[in-house]
């Protein structure tokens, strides 16, 4: 590579710089965030030797957006440089800490010129894998939004209607359960809830999808909603009921979004060639498998070995050594989404795989706490996943968890 491109991204325009192998400025321009701006950029690259056989690499401080997507479609290497890393490089060029869009673009271009090997280009994932990533991440965001809306509603109910939380608290889903949401929409205050008859409660249970023990559940709710509790003043209670309905609409929207996106993500994932291998692992289903595929992609050249994937997922520890001091710590810098689904994966595998359970128990007996033991199990699992995807074979528990031999346990790396 003899020409390098740096792009300082903004919402409505981008500063572009081209430098040669010696760091000399070849060209600079400011382009609009539009199809015309993209055409100007491609023309600028072509004028300096860009071709399909030898595309000019580009560095930019984001991995998302239409500009990045269109540049990736051209087949050129795109390096998404962390803004914090770019800020450190900036000090090499301006000790006065001055900053400008042109200078930032120059810094990005020079990062590729001097340290391209220290940075990773965006993976060449297939179109289907990118679509699964969009749906899986959106569904995860919707789940987080649902949790936030649920927490807000629960906190609000504690201020004036704790009896409702006691009535629906027997369900793991709490206020997110369809019965709880329908009941709260019908009776958002203690006064209205206490006036509900058993017949009305049975009708609400059927409307919410309940099919079994409807009479017993209606009897339980009828009693629970009439238990004595502390109350706000009548007008204040009615006002808080109106606020509850507003919060409930936000929760309903979040629940609907999470369910719809979960269905779409699972359907898209099941059409991917890697789906059969991924869900062959214990503890992974269509949705959790979609989340795993969304973060690791299907570009097999992205991770040279299993260690790289483990580090990316946060499953491999970090060793810090200085002189006689050596510390092995949990990895903090990682793909948080992959680490989150990894925790669920490892936890679920304990009840679906005898080998996974035995591995976890051995780690606990060796002194690991619960989180450390699960992280070690996740490290083992994701290492096996790298092998299975590379070799195009399904999970085999007898190979993944052979009969353990006596001796000290090794820390996952």
**CA distance readout (Å), 245 to 181, 228, 240:** 10, 23, 9
CA torsion through residues 260, 266, 271, 273, sign = positive
Q: Say if residue 395's pLDDT is above 60.
A: yes
- The mean per-residue pLDDT over the stretch 317-344 comes to 88
Quick: pLDDT tens for 48-97.
Answer: 988 888 899 999 998 888 999 999 988 889 999 988 888 888 877 666 66
Share of the chain above pLDDT 70, in %: 96
In the block, tokens 């890393």 appear at: 85
Share of the chain above pLDDT 90, in %: 68
Q: What is the pLDDT of residue 184?
A: 94
30: nearest Cα among 13, 49, 12: 13
Q: Say if residue 406's pLDDT is above 50.
A: no
Cα 49 to Cα 66: distance, rounded to the nearest angstrom: 24
CA torsion through residues 280, 141, 129, 132, sign = positive
The SS3 assignment for 379 reads: helix
- The mean per-residue pLDDT over the stretch 333-341 comes to 92
Residue 315 burial (CB count, 10 A): 29
Q: Say if residue 5's pLDDT is above 50.
A: yes
- The mean per-residue pLDDT over the stretch 316-345 comes to 88
**CA distance readout (Å), 114 to 1, 4, 24, 194:** 11, 10, 13, 72
Quick: pLDDT tens for 133-146.
Answer: 999 999 999 999 99
Q: What is the pLDDT of residue 94?
A: 67
Mean pLDDT lowest for which of 88-102, 203-217, 362-376?
A: 88-102
| Backbone torsions φ then ψ of 6, nearest 5 degrees | -120, 135
Q: What is the pLDDT of residue 1?
A: 61
Question: What's the pLDDT band for 120 if we cut at 50, 70, 90?
Answer: confident
- The mean per-residue pLDDT over the stretch 379-391 comes to 94
Q: What is the CA radius of gyration of the chain?
A: 28
Average pLDDT, the chain: 90
- The mean per-residue pLDDT over the stretch 361-389 comes to 94
Q: Which residues pair with 5 in a beta bridge?
A: 18, 58
Question: What's the pLDDT band for 170 if we cut at 50, 70, 90?
Answer: low
Q: Say if residue 386's pLDDT is above 90.
A: yes
Q: Say if residue 405's pLDDT is above 70.
A: no
Quick: pLDDT tens for 212-225.
Answer: 889 999 999 999 99
- The mean per-residue pLDDT over the stretch 147-167 comes to 93
DSSP for 160-211 reads T-HHHHHHHTTSTTGGGSHHHHHHHHH--SHHHHHT--HHHHHHHHHHTT--
Q: Which residues pair with 275 in a beta bridge?
A: none
DSSP for 20-66 reads ETT--EEEEEEEESSHHHHHHHHHHHHTTT--SSSPPPEEES-S-SH
The SS3 assignment for 16 reads: strand
Q: Say if residue 44's pLDDT is above 90.
A: yes
Cα 290 to Cα 140: distance, rounded to the nearest angstrom: 11
Selected residue with higher pLDDT from 328 and 218 = 218
Burial letters 90-128, b for 16+ CB under 10 A, else e: beeeeeeeeeebebbbbbbbbbbbeebeeeebbbbbeeb
Cα 363 to Cα 347: distance, rounded to the nearest angstrom: 14
Predicted model pTM = 0.84
Q: What is the pLDDT of residue 251?
A: 95
Q: Say if residue 282's pLDDT is above 80.
A: yes
């Amino acid at each position: 590579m003899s020409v390098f491109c740096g792009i300082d991204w903004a919402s409505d325009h981008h500063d572009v710089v081209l430098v040669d192998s010696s760091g000399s400025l070849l060209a600079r321009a400011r382009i609009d965030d539009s199809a015309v701006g993209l055409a100007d950029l491609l023309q600028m690259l072509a004028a300096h030797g860009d071709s399909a056989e030898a595309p000019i690499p580009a560095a930019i401080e984001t991995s998302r957006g239409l500009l990045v997507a269109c540049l990736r479609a051209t087949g050129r290497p795109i390096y998404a440089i962390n803004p914090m890393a770019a800020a450190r490089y900036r000090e090499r060029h301006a000790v006065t800490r001055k900053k400008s869009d042109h200078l930032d673009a120059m810094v990005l271009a020079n990062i590729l010129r001097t340290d391209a090997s220290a940075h990773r280009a965006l993976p060449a994932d297939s179109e289907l894998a990118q679509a699964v990533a969009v749906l899986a991440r959106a569904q995860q965001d919707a789940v987080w939004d649902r949790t936030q809306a649920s927490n807000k509603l629960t906190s609000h109910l504690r201020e004036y209607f704790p009896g409702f939380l006691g009535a629906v608290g027997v369900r793991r889903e709490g206020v997110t359960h369809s019965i709880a949401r329908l009941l709260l929409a019908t009776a958002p205050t203690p006064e209205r809830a206490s006036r509900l008859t058993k017949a009305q409660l049975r009708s609400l249970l059927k409307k919410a999808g309940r099919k079994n023990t409807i009479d017993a559940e209606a009897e339980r709710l009828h009693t629970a909603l009439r238990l004595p509790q502390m109350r706000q003043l009548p007008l204040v209670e009615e006002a808080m009921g109106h606020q509850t309905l507003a919060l409930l609409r936000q929760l309903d929207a979040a629940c609907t979004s999470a369910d719809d996106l979960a269905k779409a993500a699972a359907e898209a994932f099941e059409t991917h060639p890697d789906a059969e291998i991924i869900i062959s692992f214990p503890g992974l289903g269509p949705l959790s498998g979609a989340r795993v595929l969304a973060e690791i992609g299907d570009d097999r050249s992205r991770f040279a070995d299993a260690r790289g994937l483990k580090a990316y997922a946060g499953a491999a520890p970090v060793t810090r050594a200085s002189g006689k001091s050596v510390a092995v710590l949990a990895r903090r810098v990682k793909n948080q989404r992959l680490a989150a689904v990894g925790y669920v994966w490892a936890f679920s595998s304990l009840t679906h795989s005898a080998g996974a359970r035995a591995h976890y128990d051995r780690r606990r007996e060796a002194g690991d706490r619960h989180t450390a033991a699960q992280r070690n199990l996740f490290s083992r699992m994701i290492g096996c996943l790298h092998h299975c995807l590379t070799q195009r074979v399904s999970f085999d528990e007898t190979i993944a968890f052979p009969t353990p031999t006596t001796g000290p346990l090794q820390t996952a790396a």
